[in-house]
Amino acid sequence: IEDEVKVAAHEASYTHPEEVEEFVSKTGCDSLAIAIGTSHGAYKFKPEQCTVNEQGILVPPPLRFDVLKEVSKRLPGFPIVLHGSSSVPQEYVKMINEHGGKMPNAIGVPEDQLREAAKLSVCKINIDSDLRLAMTGTVRAFLDEHPDKFDPREYLKPARAN
Domain 2-161 indexed as CATH 3.90.650.10: no
Reply yes or no on whether the pLDDT at 1 is more than 50. Answer: no
Edge-to-edge order in the sheet of strand 32-33: 32-33, 80-82, 122-125
Tens-place pLDDT, residues 18-33: 999 999 999 999 999 9
Percent of the chain with pLDDT over 70: 93
At 71-98, the pLDDT tens digits run 999 999 999 999 999 999 999 999 999 9
Question: What's the pLDDT tens digit per position in 107-125?
Answer: 999 999 999 999 999 999 9
**What is the gyration radius of the CA atoms in the chain, in angstroms?**
18
DSSP 12-70: -----HHHHHHHHHHH--S-EE--SS--SSSB-S-GGGSEE-TTS-EEPPPP-HHHHHH
| pTM for this prediction | 0.84
